[in-house]
Structure 1
């Protein structure tokens, strides 16, 4: 690896050390179904987002709730002396990307076959604090 790439990679790693995030790979749910739930909690405070996910009927909300709790735990590990309620954590960004597809065959009439695509996705949650929100609004 060249020195220029190494230096930029080190900058990215330093920036990621201050960010609390959690990532879930290869979730066997279609990305569209997961995005419907993710759009509901984007930008919400952490406690409100947990309540929304807990009482949501969608199957994807269970996995997102667990992922959000993991992101909170990651934030607490980096900020041991800080309190979650006082920090004012909120869901800064949440992205749902498509992952691998399992391709299966279903029989069809007259000797034909139809392809079934069993989709999966990757989910990433990044948490922010009140201070981050204020800084973002000041830049605008």
Structure 2
């Protein structure tokens, strides 16, 4: 289901330093790309994955910005892109056998959702 998107207006919502793995967040982002915004929001609210909660909040924010700032209709919005970029890694240490330590990398992500109105045909 590919829709024509106008190149003029794109509404971007970002959230940085989210404590989820970018790799796992990308799997959720793939599912909502190209879908109508309200359908994508309903999908996200039903997903059990942790990144889906963050993407749902971001998508609500992007829809709200489009409606309030640009006076667009929320039924006409589609998710143009959803991104998960690498954030800084939190490095923690765990004790191991024989007095050694093991580094645990707690990954963070920068999440982005881009919505735009679909072109009227």
Common fold by TM > 0.5: yes
Structure 1 segments of 4+ aligned residues over 4 angstroms from their partners? none
Counterpart among 67, 78, 95 of residue 90 in structure 1: 78
Alignment pair present for 1:129 and 2:117: yes
Counterpart of 2:45?
Answer: 54
Alignment pair present for 1:114 and 2:105: no
Counterpart among 63, 66, 82 of residue 57 in structure 2: 66
Structure 2, unpaired ranges of 5+: 1-7
Whole-angstrom CA distance in 2 between matches of 1:84 and 1:50: 11
RMSD value, Cα: 1.7
Whole-angstrom CA distance in 2 between matches of 1:72 and 1:50: 10
Q: Helix, strand or coil for the counterpart of 2:88?
A: strand
Structure 1, unpaired ranges of 5+: 1-16, 135-140
**How far apart are residue 61 of structure 1 and its match?**
0.7
Counterpart of 1:9?
Answer: none
Which structure has more helix as a fraction of its residues? 1
Residue by residue over 1:54-73, the C-alpha shift from the partner in whole angstroms, topping out at 9 and shown as x without a partner, is 11111111111010000001
Residue by residue over 1:95-121, the C-alpha shift from the partner in whole angstroms, topping out at 9 and shown as x without a partner, is 110001110110000111110000000
Higher relative contact order (CA 8 A, sep 6+): 2
The higher radius of gyration belongs to: 1
On the 8 A contact 2:34/2:80 being kept in 1, the answer is yes
TM-score (normalised: structure 2): 0.87
